Amino acid sequence: MAPNTPNTPSEGWVAALRRFIEPAPNIARCELCSLELMERHPHLIAIDDRRLLCACDACALLYSGDAQKFRRVPRDSARLDDFQMSDEHWAGLGIPVGIAFFFKSTRDQRVVAIYPGAAGAMESLLDLSTWGVLEEANPVLRAIEPDVEALLANHLDGARDYYRMPLDRCYALSGLIRSTWSGFTGGSEMREAVAQFFADAVPACDSVRRVAMPDAVEQHA
């Protein structure tokens, strides 16, 4: 019997079966219209439940804004040079680990504190009354956009670094910490992963320094 050619019914049946049993490629799609997305694409935050959604450019433009139920997460980051936070202020925030991020929640009408760890992103239920003190010392905090930007604080292993960071990047860091965590304190793999995250983030960040100007106007270095 002659072998099957590519155009025989047998070949078509085999190809169809292969497509059925092989997993479909993991293609990112817009969660609002299902359009296939590029690797780098916008994210939206759902105000009501703080969900993070992947979106195409058109949906990100159409559905985001102050009058909408979604807000677009910005892409720009900034390292906050000369940020003022004493160890006493940090202790007053009640964060049990060395990394945390803080953002203003429109839904909850308060500042939310999230700290990453072995169990993922955990929300702090402790008193955040010292936030007002931090705002007085650091007026740049008032410019952080509610729901979509955060103050990311790194006190891990003696660091004292602060960033204005998009919320999706903060959650990405939290996922990185969870996936590399080991033992009781995180382990060396987690610390190396965190160090690499900040090494990658710093070159992409503008640096913001406080200067002596009226109304605490911030200048980009």
- Condensed to tens digits (0 to 9), the pLDDT of residues 123-162 reads 987 667 778 889 999 999 999 999 999 999 999 999 999 9
Its pTM stands at 0.78
Spans of all domains in the chain: 1-72, 78-220
> Comparing 211 with 85, which gets the higher pLDDT?
85
Q: Quick check: 95 and 115 in contact, CB under 8 A? A: yes
* Count of Cβ atoms closer than 10 Å to residue 105 Cβ: 13
160-182 pLDDT tens trace: 999 999 999 999 999 999 999 99
Joined tokens for residue 49 = 């439940």
Q: Largest alpha-carbon pair distance within the chain?
A: 91
